[in-house]
Structures are given as structure tokens and as C-alpha cells.
């Protein structure tokens, strides 16, 4: 799937290994077929610490993965409102659509993540966007 050792360490939740690989020059800008390192941090670890590491490197938090997902849209599908809030505070686009027209708000509602939905609405997600 095109994953680098850095991505594999991220998928595995190995924070010290991720930090080491970054320290020795691993390229964090490489994407695999699923997206970039931010997508991996959101989906695989659900950890703010991992997300903070990769976002502070300068990874694009609004990048749409090859599967059509933004990091905020991925976070909105899991019951991790703190991750949604982190991404919002870092400039994630609230109303960005995936390739199917789904937004973070519609995804959070569809997947039953009420807390995420409330948070997105409080921060200005458009209530009237259809997918």
C-alpha cells in the first residue's frame, strides 16, 4: 500500500519510534494509498500526541486522502471529540466534503457520534449542506 517505516510505526502506535525516525530524517511528506501521516495518526492511534507530532511537522490537515477523506472527517467518525477539537483549533475546514459529498458533521451524525456533532455545530459547521 506504499507505507513507509514512519507510517508503519504510526499505524502501530509506536510514539518513540516515530520520534526517532523523524529525528534521523524520515520523510513525513510521503503519502501511501490511504493518505498522509495525519490520516494515519487519526485513524490508527486516535491519539492527540501522535496528531500533535505530525501536525507540528507541517503536514496538511486538510489534505484529502486517496480514499477521499480529510483528517477531520475521519476523526468525526470515531467518538473522539478531543481529536475533532484539536483539528478545528489547528485550522481544519469544517465544511470540507469528501469525494462522496459527506462532511464531518454528516459523518458524525451518521456514525452516532453526538458529541462530535455538537462540537462541530458549536464551531460553525454548516447545518444545511447536503451530501
- CA 48 – CA 112 distance, rounded (Å): 21
Q: Which residues contact 65 (CB under 8 A, 6 or more apart)?
A: 31, 34, 35, 36, 39
Mean pLDDT of 114-128: 97
pLDDT computed for residue 42 by the predictor = 66
- Are 131 and 101 in contact by the 8 Å Cβ rule? The answer is yes
pLDDT surpassing 80 at residue 131 = no
pLDDT computed for residue 89 by the predictor = 95
* Grid cell at residue 71: 483528517
pLDDT surpassing 80 at residue 39 = no
- Residue 32 backbone phi and psi in degrees, to 5: -105, -170
Beta bridge partners of 35: 32
- Are 38 and 50 in contact by the 8 Å Cβ rule? The answer is no
Q: Which residues contact 45 (CB under 8 A, 6 or more apart)?
A: 10, 11, 13, 51
H or E element, residue 20: helix 15-23
What is the domain partition of the chain in residue ranges? 5-122
Which one is the CATH code of 5-122: 3.20.20.70, 1.25.40.20, 3.40.640.10, 1.10.10.60?
1.25.40.20
Confidence (pTM): 0.83
Instruction: Indicate the pLDDT class of residue 14, thresholds 50, 70 and 90.
Output: confident
For Cα atoms 5, 51, 76, give the angle at the middle one, nearest 5 degrees: 115
pLDDT surpassing 70 at residue 40 = no
Which has the higher per-residue pLDDT, 8 or 38? 8
- CA 41 – CA 107 distance, rounded (Å): 19
Amino acid at each position: 500500500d506504499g507505507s513507509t517505516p514512519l507510517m508503519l510505526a504510526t499505524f502501530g502506535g509506536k510514539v518513540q519510534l516515530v520520534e526517532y525516525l523523524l529525528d534521523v530524517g524520515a520523510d513525513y511528506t510521503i503519502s501511501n494509498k490511504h493518505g498522509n501521516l495525519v490520516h494515519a495518526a487519526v485513524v490508527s492511534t486516535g491519539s492527540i500526541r501522535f496528531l500533535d507530532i505530525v501536525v507540528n511537522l507541517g503536514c496538511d490537515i486538510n489534505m484529502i486522502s486517496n480514499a477521499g477523506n480529510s483528517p477531520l472527517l475521519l476523526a468525526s467518525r470515531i467518538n473522539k471529540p478531543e481529536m475533532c477539537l484539536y483539528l478545528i483549533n489547528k485550522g481544519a475546514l469544517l465544511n470540507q466534503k469528501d469525494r462522496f459529498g459527506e462532511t464531518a458533521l454528516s459523518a458524525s451524525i451518521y456514525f452516532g457520534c453526538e458529541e462530535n456533532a455538537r462540537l462541530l455545530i458549536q464551531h460553525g459547521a454548516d447545518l444545511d449542506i447536503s451530501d
